[in-house]
Structure 1
Amino acid sequence: MSTSRKSDAGAAAPQRRRLLRDDRYRQLIDVAWQLVRQEGTDALTLGRLAESAGVTKPVVYDHFATRNGLLAALYREFDDRQTALIDVALEASEKTLAGRAMVIAESYVNCVVAQGRELPGVISALASSPELQLVKSECEAAFMEKCRAVLAPFAEQGQVGFAGLRAMLGAAEALSFSATANEISAEEAKDELSRTIVDMVSRPKVGR
């Protein structure tokens, strides 16, 4: 009888499921975003992430050596999703300036709004160190280069100036954050950003 009870107790004991490394990384990223959403960026530490994900600290440290590494990973994950969304939308878009501009605007705003209020906190944290700021700068440069290639055929002499691209990116971020904060609607943000892009490409090129 006692042997049977021990056997039953062993069978009922919860088993910790081992995930493949990529699956564990995905889980940790998802839990980290959830933590930022619920408790704010300041609450995001590697120890807190381990606790929330139900894993030991060494598991988290194996994926993100430092808190800065975790913040950088969150931003790159968001940027990868945004890039993929834009690429798919561009493939299906009208090959006109208005069509391209609207796709860029819709994709950018939709991705930021879908991520929610946690994104501004992560972006703000990126400014806390040169290492993190470099990650953001690299992602921004890649985005601007993508937009330059897509919009150049519609610009004077086939060139889009860096100053205009930088202004476009600033407008995209500001309008998207305003939509996330419900200061304006997502549709207003998309329309305004689309017009900004069209105006930027249509005017004579200034600078490099």
Structure 2
Amino acid sequence: MSSSDIANSRHSKPRKRLSREERGRQLIEIAWQMIHADGTEALSLGNLAVQAGVTKPVVYDHFGTRSGLLIALYKDYDERQNALLDEALKASAATLHDRAWVIASAYVDCIVLQGREMSGVIAALAGSPELEEFKRDYNVLYIEKCRNILSPFSPSGTIPKVRLWGYLGAAESLSYAAATKEISVSQAKQELFETVINMVMRDERSEAKS
């Protein structure tokens, strides 16, 4: 679907007065559609207003700047990733095998589901110190969540931060390789699962000797 198709489909529907929350949700959804159709380069507050059939002040009131829009998109992605992880954790057994598989598969599934749209947002977030710092803050929250989930299974009762950052790098690389079909989704999940197991169970004594 091209940007013009998005706009035409929006304008053909009866206008409805939305609450601020509903309008914000609508704008986020249209922004994701625009990125899917034309990439992040075409995403601006003015273009978003046109596609949504609203005035520019409405969009500026919600996001302020393009950076604000990108941050809102990343928050939307992060909320869905956390919801997917939390739901899967509730349904899993309290074992290292099950927890590791849930963490690995949820990360891959969320990236693959969002496809190239999320990679474009992340690339744009790396374009300025402000946005890069925002992404880093969210990454810190994520790896701390993983630490809390997995530390009870570690022989030492905790997991060094360096391993968690290493896991996150592997998770991003494997997930994007799956999203671009360089590898299969099942391969990405299996490799990331093994990475998590190794991260938790690695013998710290052998690390200290090396």
TM-score when scaled to structure 2? 0.89
Q: CA deviation at 1:15?
A: 5.9
Letter of the structure 2 residue corresponding to residue 25 of structure 1:
G
2:150 paired with 1:147: no
Equivalence map 1:158-169=2 (5 Å): 158-169=157-168
How many positions carry a matched residue from both structures? 194
| Alpha-carbon separation, structure 2, partners of 1:105 and 1:31 | 29
SS in 2 for 1:157: coil
| Alpha-carbon separation, structure 1, partners of 2:14 and 2:86 | 41
The match for 1:74 is 73
2:36 paired with 1:54: no
The match for 1:117 is 116
Q: CA RMSD in A?
A: 1.3
SS in 2 for 1:156: coil
SS in 1 for 2:156: helix
The CA deviation string for residues 139-180 of structure 1, in whole angstroms up to 9 with x for no partner, is 111110110001001112201010110010001100110010
The match for 2:7 is none
Equivalence map 1:165-180=2 (5 Å): 165-180=164-179
The match for 2:190 is 191
Q: CA deviation at 1:88?
A: 1.1
The CA deviation string for residues 21-50 of structure 1, in whole angstroms up to 9 with x for no partner, is 000000000000011111011110000000
> Highest Rg: 1 or 2?
1
Between the aligned residues of both structures, percent identity stands at 54
Seen in structure 2, the aligned counterparts of structure 1 residues 15 and 116 have a Cα distance that, compared at 3 Å, is: closer
| Alpha-carbon separation, structure 1, partners of 2:189 and 2:15 | 45
SS in 1 for 2:127: coil
- Unaligned 5+ residue runs, structure 1? 1-13
| Alpha-carbon separation, structure 2, partners of 1:184 and 1:53 | 36
The match for 2:103 is 104
Seen in structure 2, the aligned counterparts of structure 1 residues 15 and 80 have a Cα distance that, compared at 3 Å, is: closer
The CA deviation string for residues 46-80 of structure 1, in whole angstroms up to 9 with x for no partner, is 00000111111011001010000000110011001
Letter of the structure 2 residue corresponding to residue 40 of structure 1:
G
TM-score when scaled to structure 1? 0.90
| Alpha-carbon separation, structure 2, partners of 1:23 and 1:148 | 35
SS in 2 for 1:18: coil
Letter of the structure 2 residue corresponding to residue 115 of structure 1:
Q
SS in 1 for 2:94: coil
The match for 1:11 is none
| Alpha-carbon separation, structure 1, partners of 2:73 and 2:155 | 37
| Alpha-carbon separation, structure 1, partners of 2:156 and 2:172 | 28
